[in-house]
Amino acid sequence: MTPRLIIVVPCYNEQEVLPITAPMFLEKLKSLAAAGQITEDSRVMFVNDGSRDDTWNIITRLSEEDEHYIGIAQSRNRGHQNAVLAGLMTAKDMCDITISIDCDGQDDINAMDGMVAAYHEGCEIVYGVRSRRDTDTFFKRFTAESFYKLMNAMGAEVVYNHADYRLISSRALRELAKFREVNIFLRGMVPLVGFKSTSVYYERSERAAGKSHYPLKKMLALAFDGITSLSIKPIKIIFMLGLIVALISFVGIIWAVVEAILGNTVGGWASTTCIICFLSGVQLISIGVIGEYIGKIYMEVKQRPRYIISEKTWDNDKSDKK
């Protein structure tokens, strides 16, 4: 059976880039439909993530111009991950497969052919993986690559050089919907869903217009969030560190006592200060990490909604549903 596809596109303040990339998505959709890979009634779904500019107006205008464009709006800005999730969860009851992609044209839309082909061969999840990062600045490339290495070292398994460009079948999405956590990091969660999956490779190009919303600060926050939502390895590392420090201290104490008994003790101000500084540093870091986990638990316990959809470009009664 030919699958119905919905391309899910998160948009935050993208008025410059949307008019350029929207027709590209539509064209891809039509060529896939013409090739018989997907149904004619497939859709491009924009998720407006509380943009402050003209983005939502552009989306509604697009949806009036062509029925293949649809849009939903989050009630406020909740961040990229939540926007993608909102789109995927809305789309999952309306289609057979979804492909999530950024709206800035950085991800090569031609990789979609390979993704859909892999679905036809039985894969439920297909990761878009960047084969090269030549167009990124050295700094962006370095920080992004360190990001993946750090994540994996810390026990959060993510697909190397894969961002949020991927195909997920509605079957896999229904399983993903059962992951109830509020701290979401899709790159780490989707592999946990399992099913048959594969990767397709593409070259990442430059943003078509506008500027990145992921400066270093946000990227570090995302890495930290990803690690602490997916793994408790940092807590284990702290525990090991604590053991090692305790062991060293123990030896130090014996040494100090022996020296005192032998009557060799001198001022010792410097060594005492060093030890105090070191230990208080270790303790503060440890408390910080544990605090981060407690914060996460606190957020999870509240069970707040992960997204709130305030508007849709289609009518619920004359539903666009399958």
**Sites of contact with Mg ion (CB under 5 A):** 102, 104, 106
The CB-of-79 to ligand UDP minimum distance in angstroms stands at: 5
The closest alpha carbon to 70, from 80, 81, 59, belongs to 59
Give the residue closest to Mg ion by C-beta.
104
Say which residue the tokens 């701290």 belong to. 183
| Minimum distance, C-beta of residue 190 to ligand UDP, in the bound complex (Å) | 16
**Please, which residue, 76 or 322, has the CB nearer to ligand UDP?**
76
> Nearer Cβ to ligand UDP, position 49 or 96?
49
Residue 196 falls in which region: left (phi positive, over 0), alpha (psi -120 to 50) or beta? beta
Contact indicator for 200, 117 with CB cutoff of 8 Å:
no
186-193 and 216-230 are packed helices; what angle lies between their axes, rounded to 10 degrees? 30
Provide, rounded to whole angstroms, the least separation between the CB of residue 232 and ligand UDP: 27
Residue 49: contacted member of ligand UDP, Mg ion, none (CB under 5 to 8 Å, by partner type): ligand UDP
| Closest CB 214 distance from ligand UDP, rounded Å | 4
Question: CB 97 → Mg ion: shortest distance, Å?
Answer: 23
Residues that bind ligand UDP (CB under 6 A): 10-12, 14, 49, 77, 79-80, 83, 102-104, 106, 212-214
- C-alpha to C-alpha distance for 199 and 15, rounded to whole angstroms: 31
CA distance 142 to 136: 9
Query: CB-wise, 10 or 128, nearer to ligand UDP?
Result: 10
For β-strands 43-48 and 5-11, DSSP reports them as: parallel
Type and span of the H or E element at 117: helix 111-120
Nearer to Mg ion, 37 or 51 (CB): 51
Q: Is-contact 26 102, C-beta < 8 A?
A: no
Binding site partner of 79, from ligand UDP, Mg ion, none, Cβ cut-off 5-8 A by kind: ligand UDP
Partner that binds at residue 130, options ligand UDP, Mg ion, none, CB closer than 5 to 8 Å by kind: none
Complex with ligand UDP: residue 37 or 229, whichever CB lies closer: 229
Residue 173 tokens, joined: 């999405």
